[in-house]
Amino acid sequence: MIVVTAVAVLLALGIARTSAHRAIENAYYDWWHVLAGARYTPAHTAVVVIDDATFLALKDDPLAFWAPHFARVLEVLTEAGAKTIGLDVLYQVSAEEWLRKLDLPNSDAARNYDAPLRGALAKGNVILITHLVPAQEGAQLLLPPPDQLAMLPRGMHDLGVANLFPDDDKYVRHFLTAVDPDARKAGTSFGMQLALRAAGQDPALGEWEIAGTRLTRESAPLAIGFAGPPGTIPALSMNALLRADALRDPAVQALKGRTVIVAASHAGTADRHFTPYSRGRGTELMSGGEFHANVVETILSGRYPRALPAAAEIAYLAVLLMAATWGFMRLGAAKGAGLAAGLCAAVVLPSYLLFHYHWIVPVAEPQAGILAAFLVALGLRLTGEARERARIREMFGKYVSGEVVDKLLDEERRPDLGGEAMAVTVLFSDIRGFTTISEKLSAHEVVEMLNAYFTRACEPILAQGGTVDKYIGDAVMAVFGSPVRYPDHARRAVRAALGMAREAEAFKQWMQERFPGRGLAEFGIGVGLHTGDAVVGDIGTPKRKEFTAIGDTVNAASRLEGVTKEMDCVVAASEATVLAAGPGVQTGKVEQKTVKGKTGPLTVYEITGLKDE
């Protein structure tokens, strides 16, 4: 069992590292988000959306000339008490630079059009975005216009890389603290930069501790603890902040103390992404601004979805798969498959429940382990079962009928070869006057006669499910009730004994025809039956063993066979056998006999037939 468990654990761990398996695990993870819905109320962030209403209000101004409007928004947010502001809009050329390119007459507008925005940036509570793009000479950052960059108090450390890094299936589940570990460069991610500013941390450092979590610029991708589906982060139209009375708006006042991200969310924007909430029908994509807000919420609240530590993961798998293997090794294929299906379903619940506590507990991995354990255990059972069936067939095939062997193999409970006490009926039979007969026949003729007789005499035994235990010279010992436990073993033994008597009567004709004129005595047999407890098992030496029965019941049956001579009958049975055989047993003579090995006399019956047969 330990070997099967170890193999299953290793297979599960190996399969879990494949991309196909990871896709299944991601699907479970995503559906937990869908089922959970909104997970907590965001306390640190909000989004000012550049929506359709904003575009309608500013339809006369090209986007490149929105600098005064953005300045107004930044001013209102600052006065409203926003802790940090992120402007998720990338300009590479300012309106003033563009106007100079047109070589228009010099004017105050051309020189100072962006002045309000530069003034808002100079206050130091605004983070601008930059974007990492591929190029022939390597990835490069798209930076804001130089005149805006020059107004940022911390220079490069007032910039955040806005790139999102989806998984292979295009879903975004993780974020990077930085795209460049060099603290001298503008490589910190946008969400991380905003969180650092809100937490009062110095972005120029290489490591920080926020909400009890140590973070570095070189941290591995971290899972985003989404607050909920799109729309969970508080959102306000940018147009509301452009109104003259914006500061009296309760929704604007509610932005106090929050990190606010100004980002596009209008119809047709390409800044929308797949999230774990995008599974199923009717789910919408999440805007980039809300993505960054969820990253900030994750960092400031410390609600990171955390995978199980490697040791805990292995321990979980080991305990689960050991329990599963224990069941698989004891159940048949059908019941084992049912158990595997049940366990595969059962591991779903703890994963979903612990998801609410921000733990990522694998589902597909233990399911793969359960299936591996089932298949390995099934393979061992099949090969072991085949060997066991072959061994049992070889051991009992010579002594019981093929039907009995099949029944024995089909039973859930196999005989305990180490020995067990059980109630059985033992039959002993021998040939009358065998010594005299054998003296008048050659050795080959004796063997021929015995083989012919045993072939006929054993048929009734096998037909009644009895076991031909052994041949002792001319005697036959048979056991009923073992190895297959027939509850009516006594009646079967009586029926077999009467059948042997009929076969012996018919065998007289064979003897006369085979050995005419040899002066042989008339052929006859005696059969003794006794019912009681006996010890049954595989008895002998390591080199020579046989499955047999021993004990007082066996000895008594042997003695009763000898009593048939005294009673001048063919079949003699003890009272225990007659009572156990049930109604309908026809008897003749009844005598009290003291047999060797018994302290008291036995009531012995001559069996003449069965009334119902």
DSSP letters spanning 286-301: EEHHHHHHHHHHHHHH
pLDDT at 593 (0 to 100): 86
**Residue 125 shares a structural domain with residue 56:** yes
Q: The tokens of 414 are what?
A: 């196999």
Indicate whether 432 belongs to any domain. Answer: yes
Q: DSSP code of 397?
A: T
**Residue 101 shares a structural domain with residue 249:** yes
- Answer whether residue 33 shows pLDDT above 90: yes
Phi and psi dihedrals of 186, rounded to 5?
-85, 70
Q: Which residues pair with 209 in a beta bridge?
A: 214
What type of residue is 182?
D
**Residue 318 shares a structural domain with residue 220:** no
Given pLDDT bands bounded at 50, 70 and 90, which one contains residue 428? very high
Indicate whether 405 belongs to any domain. Answer: no
Domain CATH code at residue 579: 3.30.70.1230
**Residue 26 shares a structural domain with residue 54:** no
pLDDT at 76 (0 to 100): 94
Indicate whether 278 belongs to any domain. Answer: no
**Residue 343 shares a structural domain with residue 425:** no
pLDDT at 415 (0 to 100): 57
Q: Give me the chain's average pLDDT, please.
A: 86
**Residue 151 shares a structural domain with residue 134:** yes
Q: Which residues contact 376 (CB under 8 A, 6 or more apart)?
A: 4, 7, 8
With a pLDDT cut of 90, the percent of the chain lying above it is: 51
Total domain count for the chain?
Answer: 3
**Residue 352 shares a structural domain with residue 469:** no
Query: Contact, 358 vs 306, CB < 8 A?
Result: yes
**Residue 164 shares a structural domain with residue 230:** yes
Domain C-terminal end among 345, 369, 396: 396
CA distance 599 to 611: 33
pLDDT at 347 (0 to 100): 92
Domain C-terminal end among 368, 396, 424: 396
Indicate whether 554 belongs to any domain. Answer: yes
pLDDT at 111 (0 to 100): 63
| Ramachandran area for residue 568 (φ above 0: left; ψ -120 to 50: alpha; else beta) | left
Using DSSP, state whether 88 is helix, strand or coil. strand
Indicate whether 402 belongs to any domain. Answer: no
Indicate whether 276 belongs to any domain. Answer: no
**Residue 310 shares a structural domain with residue 297:** no
Q: State mean pLDDT over 92-98.
A: 60
pLDDT at 319 (0 to 100): 87
Indicate whether 283 belongs to any domain. Answer: no
- Answer whether residue 109 shows pLDDT above 80: no
pTM, to two decimals:
0.66
| Ramachandran area for residue 406 (φ above 0: left; ψ -120 to 50: alpha; else beta) | alpha
Q: Are strands 525-540 and 571-574 parallel, antiparallel or unpaired?
A: parallel
- Point out the least confidently predicted range of 35-44, 66-75, 285-294, 407-416: 407-416
**Residue 537 shares a structural domain with residue 592:** yes
> First and final CA of the chain: distance in angstroms?
51
pLDDT at 185 (0 to 100): 80
Using DSSP, state whether 323 is helix, strand or coil. helix
Q: Which residues contact 368 (CB under 8 A, 6 or more apart)?
A: 11, 12, 15, 16, 21
CA distance 87 to 288: 12
**Residue 23 shares a structural domain with residue 138:** no
CA distance 345 to 151: 58
Domain C-terminal end among 396, 429, 444: 396
Indicate whether 409 belongs to any domain. Answer: no
Q: Which residues contact 311 (CB under 8 A, 6 or more apart)?
A: none
**Residue 530 shares a structural domain with residue 604:** yes
Angle value at C-alpha 114, between 108 and 119, nearest 5 degrees? 110
pLDDT at 402 (0 to 100): 54
In 3D space, the residue among 255, 224, 302, 225 whose CA is nearest the CA of residue 125 turns out to be 255
pLDDT digits (tens, 9 = 90+) for 371-408: 888 888 777 766 655 555 556 655 555 545 455 555 55
Query: Contact, 242 vs 326, CB < 8 A?
Result: no
- Answer whether residue 479 shows pLDDT above 80: yes
The whole domain housing 532 covers 415-610
Name residue, tokens 């321990």: 315
Alpha helices by DSSP H, listed for 173-277, are: 190-198, 238-241, 250-253
